[in-house]
Amino acid sequence: DTEVTQTPKHLVMGMTNKKSLKCEQHMGHRAMYWYKQKAKKPPELMFVYSYEKLSINESVPSRFSPECPNSSLLNLHLHALQPEDSALYLCASSQGSSRELGNEQFFGPGTRLTVL
C-alpha cells in the first residue's frame, strides 16, 4: 500500500487563525517531508523528518511549525499566515533518506490552503 493521506483537503483561514495540517502513512517509511507548491511551479521542499527528527528546515518562516509525533504522523502547524502562503501543501514519505537508494518519495493528495 503506497498511500499517504492528508487532512484536510481544503482549508481557508484568516491571517490571525491557527490551524494544523495532518499527514499519515502506514508504509513503515522513516522519512517524511513537507512541500509547498504554487501554481505551475514544481514542489518546493520545506521540512524533512528522518527517523522522527527534523533533519532539514529550508529556512521556512516561523509561522510554519512542523511536528512529528511518531513515525507515521506528520503535522504542520500554521499561525499568522500571509495571503502569499496560499498554495498546495504536500506531504511525502520515503523508506529512507535522500542519500540512500530505494528512497522513492510518495506524495499525499495535498491540502489546498487559501489565506484571506
C-beta closer to other proteins: residue 30 or 79? 30
Q: Output the 3-class SS for 2-60.
A: CCEEEECCEEEECCCCEEEEEEEECCCCCEEEEEEECCCCCCEEEEEEECCEEEEECCC
Told to check if 110 binds other proteins by CB under 8 A, we report: yes
Closest contact distance (angstroms) between CB of 80 and other proteins is: 25
Choose between 72 and 98: whose C-beta lies nearer to other proteins.
98
Sign of torsion over alpha carbons 82, 107, 94, 76 = positive
CB closer to other proteins out of 6 and 78: 6
Give contact residues for other proteins (rule: CB under 8 A). 41-43, 45, 48, 56, 58, 88, 90, 97-99, 101, 103-110
